[in-house]
Amino acid sequence: MHYLKDISEVRKKISEYKKNNKSIGLVPTMGALHKGHVSLIESSKKSCDITVVSVFVNPIQFGPNEDFHKYPRPIEQDIKICEEVEVDILFNPAVEEIIGDNLKTFVDISDLGDNLCGAKRPGHFRGVATIVSKLFNITTPNRAFFGKKDIQQLYIIKKMVEDLNFNIEIIPCSIIREADGLAMSSRNRYLSEKERIDSLVINRTLKEAVKLIEDGEINSKNVISFFENKIKEINSAKIDYVNVVNENMKNVELIEKGNIIAIAVYIGKTRLIDNHIIGEKICW
């Protein structure tokens, strides 16, 4: 595995691969890798000759009172994981390498970013789209792999690729869950033992809400109320949002196949997100 920190080194190596007609898969991450990330890497390895993993904790996607400085950065562990799954390039640039000290150009997404996490975290998706576009330009992948847990991010990246004519195929990958159903997240490590138990209310209630819909409930207000009431039973839990949206991230009144139940809940001080696309099989 090539562990690279400089843009020029990455471009040189990618150029060598492409001269030999190798296809490139990119898995963008913020590190603190877990089995969810590994599943993205495995998907890339199955469909691409070369897999590039980026580890970059992006400061411009964090708000002023968020957890940028606290966000876990176990780079030695990440290197070990990438070596074990035979990643070809691990790109781990410094902030100065990617952003510099005078960044003036940003990629902004209108409309799709106005609801859910975009409404709760102003500027978040502007930061995400800007850095992902830079990673695309640096690594020039044929395919890029994103998990469905960050469903709004996935739809925004797909739209950015379409609008800006990136010659990249975006591959959505399934949410990977712990054995008890909690969606895997680098932030799960923030949870205390009790909070970890409390956090199960999220996936448990999501599953129950999906069953409610499958049994015939199509009024989104009723589903949201059901979800809110269940979450309120847990003292450590505080709802950030519960919405049912369409693929344009707009709230819907009547639920239909393809709509998304999207949720963000604080367990203590830890914000966790989850979702389910109506019509897809429940896998937990």
The catalytic site residues sit at 37
What b/e string do you get for 93-132 counting C-beta neighbours within 10 Å, with b at 16 or more? beeeebbeeeeeeebebeebbebbbbeebebbbbbbbbbb
Alpha-carbon distance 250 to 260, whole Å?
10
Q: Which two tokens stand for residue 196?
A: 């970890």
Alpha-carbon distance 234 to 187, whole Å?
19
Closest CA to 98 of 140, 141, 55: 55
Task: Provide the strand spans (E) within the chain.
Answer: 2-4, 24-29, 50-55, 89-91, 143-147, 169-173, 237-245, 260-267, 270-277
Q: Give 120's contacts (C-beta < 8 A, 6+ positions apart).
A: 240, 241, 264
Alpha-carbon distance 154 to 151, whole Å?
5
Alpha-carbon distance 199 to 187, whole Å?
12
Any idea which residue has 């999906």 for tokens? 210
Residues listed for the chain: 284
